[in-house]
Amino acid sequence: MPQLAFAHSFWESYDVLEKPVRAGVRKAMQKFQLLTVPELHMDKGLHLESVENARDPRMRTIRINDFWRGVVLAPDDGSDVFLLVNVVPHDDAYTWAAKRLYTTNSATRALEVRNVVAIEQLTPVLEKAAVTADSLLFAKYSDTVLHELGIDEQVLRAIRTIVDKVQLRAFETLLPEDQCEVLQYLAEGFSPEEVYRDVVATRRPVDAGPDPDQSLAVAIANTTSRITLVTGPEELSDILEKPFAAWRVFLHPSQRRVAYRVSYGGPVQVTGGPGTGKTVAALHRVKHLLARSPDTRVLLTTYTNALAASLRENLALLLDGDDALLARVDITTVNAYAHGIVTRLDGKAPSLMGDREERQLWQRVVKKLGLPWTEQFLAQEYRHVILAQDLRTLDAYRAASRLGRGSALSATRREQLWPAVELFESLLRDQKATSHLKICARAADLLAASSPTHDHVVVDEAQDLHPAQWRVLRGAVAPGSDDLFITGDPHQRIYDSRVSLRSLGISVTGRTHRLRINYRSTEEILTWSTDILSPVTVEDLGGEGSDTLAGYRSLLHGRQPQADGYGTEQAEVAALVERVQGWIAQGIRPSEIGVCARFNVLLDKAYDKLAAVNVPVVRVRDNPAPGEDGVRLATMHAMKGLEFRCIAVLGATATAVPFAREVTPASVDALQHDSDLLRERCLLFVACTRAREALAVSWSGTASPFVPR
């Protein structure tokens, strides 16, 4: 019997097919498992036929129904693996298939596909233009170096003409995948040695001989990051019937390497720009940790309840709904975990004070003590110095470093300030209430005096955790191998918590990894959004230097983001309604559209206007079920961790982003001022990077200074 394999490109087309067409695909696939190779060729219904003028002689089409054709690569070397590469409307199938050529990469040994016809047509034109170019992108690399990285003759000739990264980007969809990735890394300034190590060596089979094995079956087996091989009928129906989530199967080698490393000697840190699959890596790590021993318990944390719910759903998908495995994972926010610890070990649930009440308490403190500081300054001192360093006495406060604060406080000033802290805490006690961070401090004390609750802790969205929350996580697991697996992106820090992980007993030295390929957004959305951050540097996750987005890129392409200003807010909202209707008319489901703004007031207006023209709308804060119809509306903060096919960012207006009230005046604290502005900038970055295919940013009046020109 032949075997069947599916290329990544197949899932992209299969996932958007109508149900009856999918049923047709399933029926056709079953034949591959029931019939012998000669029977397949003779089957009338399947109609396995060669493609006229195909550049790859192995190219075949099969009939799905009157309108749809499957494109298949059939072995011609005596091997028996058929590769399903695409499902395309009948008329396009032959042209699509005729232009594609599959080859084995000489370095990685994986199967790659190129648009051979387009490369042939473009190369002579580009060669003419290259003669007069001032410089060429790959001029400094010799043919030998490029060959060693797997670049073949046709690609070499083509890319010798490329002048810059923009031109390379335009070429990307035509190039064979592994070769394209090698070129992207080189274009970003990585050395050939680094590229060999990170791209080639991670894919190349350990037992690779001097020359590539030309068998299609071998190349397919070597392409685990882009091809799934199906071994039996059950597996086939399983993967065709479930909604296909590529991330469950196709991990990029850099993702697989971090998630499935057998063991780490201590805490691990995985960073990467938005959409690089950090959450995916965290979920796979949980799977790996569960598989290592039958009774390990894992704590998986994230930042919000909504994200915890989505982790739960995706982990169930990854673990095939295995309840015994799922029962060994606690998925929650750090705050909820700390609340649970305090409730259990103190014997009663703490009662929580909201942010607004907390601000009011600080106002009372300032009024009562007549101190020379604003309530904002005191609240920040309390959060960023006292709770961050867990200072419990005036002596400790006197001796503490205030590194990172923009105003000096002498010993006398600190003595003057400490009564404010004592008064604030006594007011909290009077009200029998406490704050999230105080609960965390209490939970960390309780954990230190009892024993860890879990064998492993996996932390997603780590960039916004406060030191008090890190202390809880440190206490949840005993220090040692595989204790903490931490994923986060400091470019998405929107709550201004800076930490030194090392000072909290979490040292990741020698165990840091970075993911660079964005799987969510198009390169156009990414380039535009990354420009929001180009004027600034961002402190890294562990507080030991700065982070960078170098080499961060996407393999997807699409339309340029739109950025439009309007005379009034009314006109802006009217344009939003038209845009959303336009997206829906293009076949995008309302639930695949996200609309966000800095404030709820503007979202309320958008809600009313969309509802008035019968566009279904729901608020993300109401926790709609994944399948619930309706355009999702959320504040920029609530967009963290989410993604949508289309995103409209409303109100990117100078008065809203940055929002002056949330920015400490430079006269009060210059460093805090800068860090507040950075936080507001990151907020716009987070909002824009939620978009997969389309991004529209708008404002009324003057644009936010953070919107790239």
Ligand X SMILES: Nc1ncnc2c1ncn2[C@@H]1O[C@H](COP(=O)(O)OP(=O)(O)OP(=O)(O)O)[C@@H](O)[C@H]1O
- Binding site members: 272-279
- Long-range Cβ contacts of 86-94 (<8 Å, 24+ apart): 86/7, 86/9, 86/10, 86/13, 87/10, 87/13, 87/14, 87/17, 87/21, 87/25, 88/13, 90/66, 93/61, 93/69, 94/51, 94/52, 94/61, 94/69
Residue range at the interface with ligand X (CB under 6 A); choices 40-48, 126-134, 246-254, 620-628:
246-254
587: left (phi over 0), alpha (psi -120 to 50) or beta: left
By rule CB under 6 A, what string of x and - marks binding of each residue 28-47 to ligand X? --------------------
Distance (Å, rounded) from C-alpha 639 to C-alpha 635? Answer: 7
Q: Could you give the 3-state DSSP secondary structure of residue 648?
A: strand
By rule CB under 6 A, what string of x and - marks binding of each residue 419-438 to ligand X? --------------------
Residue range at the interface with ligand X (CB under 6 A); choices 58-66, 106-114, 247-255, 435-443:
247-255
CB of 455 to ligand X, least distance (A): 23
- Residue selected from 70, 75, 275, 708 as contacting ligand X according to rule CB under 6 A: 275
CB of 689 to ligand X, least distance (A): 6
- Residue selected from 118, 239, 246, 369 as contacting ligand X according to rule CB under 6 A: 246
- Residue selected from 86, 104, 276, 664 as contacting ligand X according to rule CB under 6 A: 276
Nearer to ligand X, 255 or 301 (CB): 255
Residue numbers 507-536 binding ligand X by CB under 6 A: 519-520
Nearer to ligand X, 219 or 515 (CB): 515
Those residues whose C-beta lies under 8 Å from the C-beta of residue 22, and which sit 6 or more positions away, are 14, 240
Distance (Å, rounded) from C-alpha 282 to C-alpha 460? Answer: 7
Instruction: Locate 677 and state its tokens.
Output: 């502005």
- Residue selected from 171, 250, 424, 583 as contacting ligand X according to rule CB under 6 A: 250
CB of 517 to ligand X, least distance (A): 8
CB of 273 to ligand X, least distance (A): 7
Nearer to ligand X, 489 or 676 (CB): 489
- Residue selected from 212, 277, 350, 590 as contacting ligand X according to rule CB under 6 A: 277
Do the beta carbons of residue 111 and residue 222 sit within 8 Å?
yes
3-state helix, strand, coil in the chain (%, to 5): 45, 15, 35
Do the beta carbons of residue 469 and residue 496 sit within 8 Å?
no
By rule CB under 6 A, what string of x and - marks binding of each residue 549-568 to ligand X? --------------------
CB of 248 to ligand X, least distance (A): 9
Residue range at the interface with ligand X (CB under 6 A); choices 140-148, 161-169, 271-279, 615-623:
271-279
- Residue selected from 176, 212, 267, 274 as contacting ligand X according to rule CB under 6 A: 274
Total residues in contact with ligand X, by rule CB under 6 A: 21
Is there binding between residue 175 and ligand X (CB under 6 A)?
A: no
Backbone angles phi, psi at 88, to 5 degrees: -135, 145
- For residue 4, the cross-strand partners are 82, 230
Q: Say how far residue 580 (Cα) sits from the centre of its chain.
A: 24
CB of 488 to ligand X, least distance (A): 8
Nearer to ligand X, 15 or 92 (CB): 15
Nearer to ligand X, 252 or 339 (CB): 252
CB of 251 to ligand X, least distance (A): 5
Residue range at the interface with ligand X (CB under 6 A); choices 270-278, 365-373, 430-438, 498-506:
270-278
Distance (Å, rounded) from C-alpha 186 to C-alpha 137? Answer: 9
Nearer to ligand X, 222 or 492 (CB): 492
Q: Could you give the 3-state DSSP secondary structure of residue 35?
A: coil
Distance (Å, rounded) from C-alpha 81 to C-alpha 33? Answer: 11
Is there binding between residue 252 and ligand X (CB under 6 A)?
A: yes
CB of 692 to ligand X, least distance (A): 7
Instruction: Locate 286 and state its tokens.
Output: 């949980």
Nearer to ligand X, 99 or 516 (CB): 516
Do the beta carbons of residue 380 and residue 397 sit within 8 Å?
no
Q: Could you give the 3-state DSSP secondary structure of residue 114?
A: strand
Q: How many CA atoms within 13 Å lie on the side-chain side of 477?
A: 26
Distance (Å, rounded) from C-alpha 498 to C-alpha 672? Answer: 11
CB of 552 to ligand X, least distance (A): 11
Those residues whose C-beta lies under 8 Å from the C-beta of residue 93, and which sit 6 or more positions away, are 61, 69, 71, 86
By rule CB under 6 A, what string of x and - marks binding of each residue 652-691 to ligand X? -------------------------------------x--
Nearer to ligand X, 138 or 185 (CB): 185
Residue range at the interface with ligand X (CB under 6 A); choices 267-275, 361-369, 376-384, 587-595:
267-275
By rule CB under 6 A, what string of x and - marks binding of each residue 279-318 to ligand X? xx--------------------------------------
Is there binding between residue 272 and ligand X (CB under 6 A)?
A: yes
Q: CA of 172: how far to CAs of 158, 182, 184, 554, in Å?
A: 12, 11, 9, 10
- Residue selected from 643, 645, 665, 673 as contacting ligand X according to rule CB under 6 A: 643
Instruction: Locate 309 and state its tokens.
Output: 């719910």
- Residue selected from 22, 278, 456, 679 as contacting ligand X according to rule CB under 6 A: 278
Residue range at the interface with ligand X (CB under 6 A); choices 113-121, 242-250, 591-599, 657-665:
242-250
Do the beta carbons of residue 707 and residue 697 sit within 8 Å?
yes
End-to-end Cα separation, the chain, in angstroms? 59
- Nearest partner of 122 among 159, 97, 93, 176, judged by Cα: 159
Residue numbers 378-397 binding ligand X by CB under 6 A: none
CB of 169 to ligand X, least distance (A): 19
Instruction: Locate 554 and state its tokens.
Output: 């996407």
CB of 422 to ligand X, least distance (A): 40
Helix (H) or strand (E) holding 370, with range, is none
Strands (E), 437-491: 456-459, 484-488
Distance (Å, rounded) from C-alpha 642 to C-alpha 542? Answer: 24
Q: DSSP of 512-553, one letter per residue?
A: EEEE-EESSS-HHHHHHHHHHHTT--EE-TTSSSEE--TT-E
Residue numbers 462-501 binding ligand X by CB under 6 A: 489, 492
Q: Please, what sign has the CA dihedral across residues 116, 119, 122, 127?
A: negative
Instruction: Locate 359 and state its tokens.
Output: 């601000």
- Residue selected from 641, 651, 658, 708 as contacting ligand X according to rule CB under 6 A: 641
Rounded to 5°, angle at Cα 232 from 227 and 233: 110
CB of 305 to ligand X, least distance (A): 16
Number of neighbours of residue 644 by Cβ within 10 angstroms: 24
Binding residue numbers for ATP: 272-279
Residue range at the interface with ligand X (CB under 6 A); choices 250-258, 544-552, 617-625, 629-637:
250-258
User: Token match 């156009």: residue?
Assistant: 524
Nearer to ligand X, 93 or 251 (CB): 251
Nearer to ligand X, 305 or 450 (CB): 305
Instruction: Locate 61 and state its tokens.
Output: 């089409």
Nearer to ligand X, 277 or 708 (CB): 277
Rg (CA), the chain: 28
CB of 583 to ligand X, least distance (A): 19
Do the beta carbons of residue 108 and residue 200 sit within 8 Å?
yes
Q: Residues in the site for ligand X, rule: CB under 6 A?
A: 246-247, 250-252, 255, 272, 274-280, 489, 492, 519-520, 641, 643, 689
